Structure 1
């Protein structure tokens, strides 16, 4: 009988302020809790590093928070069993190119492999191939475009570009036995795929991905089997602090893959729970109930009309938030507009103005011009960093 290969994959990891004390202990069991034993038992462990590991105190100008880890944190995570960091995400460039380079250099020094980021876009898109026993495991990591991307002369994350990335998946599959694709994107706090995200991921499966995991949503999502491949739309947090009363934020999945010979790999979801004392494995009853709910929710993915209807409902519930952001309003305006159910936006912007905004966003030509103009503006203000 052929020897089993075990692979473990963790979701988003970031040393938040409330968990800083656990990282400062430099004790992996303080950081990863009961998951440590499972990680160390695996032949290969992968995690998404959701922040640059750097001593820099110079964050870039961006929307949203600037996240940071320290170089010594990576050694703690390595001691906990992590072999590979995926670094294609929306925060890896939060402390500029120096932050990315510092992270890559620390990983190289520690012998931790990386994927999805590099000193330029060519390096960032390189797949990672790791021989494990008698199999070759391939890993590709992609991120949606935010303030994070590598360019021809700047370090950063590997962008998912449908025209190139699907070809990258097809090519990588030809050089490995099992291909893992980590996709950092989708809508935060939404457990289902949008119609577009589902189409993207199904195409990844069609062109060679054996397992597609969507990260970034900060919640456990739904999953489906497509063309013999597994797609998980939301892995949830691994180590990202604890939010009192927010169970969605406080849970995540450890994904375990068992490969034996030519038999279809077994994929298992293991529930992680965070609390004020750290991260741990959920008890059997709680885990069983949560996974049953996940299975029930996942049935909707087989019906496109349900996927569309769920997406319409989610989008409608965020109309005041997104209109405020679209028209460049601040937090105070945003809060008032949400309380007034979008009446401020309705008062300030006519239907015609919103039609113009819609057309500039949906038309590739207009969209490209606007993005170029805005990039030029911010590049002048931020030491030529490409945004």
Structure 2
């Protein structure tokens, strides 16, 4: 396979503690991905399969996707944040307000039915039921052939990129979180891929930066960085998040896939690459916050055609009775208006696409 972005090679090799060469990276547009196939990848935010969701769908795993199955089936793969552990074992970690656990007998078939190509485990609920449940989660995903990254039996494995194929597209994903430092994996303890997620922070450079370098060395067609970051209920990314997302793309990321706030945030295109600052919630049983509509979000569909990222389609969805469905007219209209408003600071270009929106890609 053709090696991509040779213009980045010297910068990546020297990346360890050097931030002074960003201009070298920014001077040349990213090369197109090297596949000749048309591939559509779906990106969504939090998929929480515990509590009421677990109770409702244990006997009908596909029901959690409800009317979205036709749309999901048209994708070549779905990438999501798995906001729970998947295990029938473990004990609740003391001092937590919310605990999310899904039984593997139904949760794994549900993820398989959705065509899950990747499930991030870098979040603040992966250790809710302790290291036993975390280990079970990783084992169940592995047995089902669902790649994951962002948690592990120790720090090194937690930051290990996932590498997998979607049709003829070779994909690498680095996953990390700045939530719940107490859940961080240690040298000899299981946990999440925790880092402050600031480009000026040494821990972030050492662990997240090194993971990006290692992923890039695998020469994937598409490099995704999946981030569970920022406080809940914030509708705008912080300047630190904006800076960090661009920093990642300058170092080789093709997509920055954010989640954690439980509400959608704006989308930016930077050097022809999409930054989804927060995808919102895709499945949960959460209380709906006044004015925030945390039960309304998007399925983000990335099109890779003839070797190029060509478009990001935003398909409006809503959560109703612990399932995800196509958004009704009122919700879809609100989501379109909201996304345009939130993305205005980034000067993002939108086109109307059925009930949703389309962002053209490919231009630096």
TM-score > 0.5 by shorter chain: yes
In 2, are the aligned partners of 1:186 and 1:214 still within 8 Å (CA)? no
Unaligned runs of 5+ in 1: 303-387
Task: Decide which of 271, 276, 296 is 2:316's aligned counterpart.
Answer: 271
Within-5 A mapping of 1:94-105: 94-105=128-139
SS state at 1:200 partner: helix
In 1, are the aligned partners of 2:257 and 2:276 still within 8 Å (CA)? yes
**Partner Cα separation in structure 1 for residue 115 and residue 70 of structure 2:** 8
Show the counterpart of 2:339: 294
Q: Deviations over 1:174-223 (max 9, x none)?
A: 42121111100112111111111111111111111111121010001111
Show the counterpart of 1:281: 326
Instruction: Flag the 1:277–1:227 CA change in 2: closer, same or farther, 3 A.
Output: closer
In 1, are the aligned partners of 2:85 and 2:100 still within 8 Å (CA)? yes
Show the counterpart of 2:185: 150
In 1, are the aligned partners of 2:258 and 2:278 still within 8 Å (CA)? yes
**Partner Cα separation in structure 1 for residue 121 and residue 160 of structure 2:** 12
Q: Return 47-56 or 17-26, whichever deviates more.
A: 17-26
**Partner Cα separation in structure 2 for residue 134 and residue 55 of structure 1:** 36
Larger Rg: 1
Is 1:168 the counterpart of 2:211 in the alignment? Answer: yes
**Partner Cα separation in structure 1 for residue 99 and residue 297 of structure 2:** 22
Show the counterpart of 2:163: 129
SS state at 1:209 partner: coil
Show the counterpart of 2:356: none
Show the counterpart of 1:75: 109
SS state at 1:98 partner: helix
Task: Decide which of 4, 15, 23 is 2:57's aligned counterpart.
Answer: 23
In 2, are the aligned partners of 1:18 and 1:242 still within 8 Å (CA)? no
Q: Deviations over 1:236-260 (max 9, x none)?
A: 1011115356452211221111111
**Partner Cα separation in structure 1 for residue 238 and residue 324 of structure 2:** 29
**Partner Cα separation in structure 2 for residue 66 and residue 43 of structure 1:** 32
Superposed displacement of residue 77, structure 1: 2.2
SS state at 2:231 partner: coil
Within-5 A mapping of 1:1-387: 2-28=36-62, 30-72=63-105, 73-146=107-180, 147-160=182-195, 161-164=203-206, 165-174=208-217, 175-243=219-287, 246=290, 248-276=293-321, 278-283=323-328, 286-301=331-346
In 2, are the aligned partners of 1:272 and 1:282 still within 8 Å (CA)? yes
Superposed displacement of residue 5, structure 1: 0.8
Superposed displacement of residue 109, structure 1: 2.1
Instruction: Flag the 1:113–1:207 CA change in 2: closer, same or farther, 3 A.
Output: same
For CA contacts below 8 A with separation 6 or more, give which structure has more relative contact order: 2
In 2, are the aligned partners of 1:242 and 1:276 still within 8 Å (CA)? no
In 1, are the aligned partners of 2:45 and 2:258 still within 8 Å (CA)? no
Superposed displacement of residue 16, structure 1: 4.4
SS state at 1:235 partner: coil
In 2, are the aligned partners of 1:129 and 1:136 still within 8 Å (CA)? yes
SS state at 2:266 partner: strand
In 2, are the aligned partners of 1:222 and 1:297 still within 8 Å (CA)? yes
Show the counterpart of 2:357: none
In 1, are the aligned partners of 2:318 and 2:331 still within 8 Å (CA)? no
Superposed displacement of residue 230, structure 1: 1.1
SS state at 2:308 partner: coil
In 1, are the aligned partners of 2:175 and 2:227 still within 8 Å (CA)? yes
Superposed displacement of residue 280, structure 1: 0.2
In 2, are the aligned partners of 1:242 and 1:275 still within 8 Å (CA)? no
| Alpha-carbon RMSD | 2.2
Show the counterpart of 1:340: none
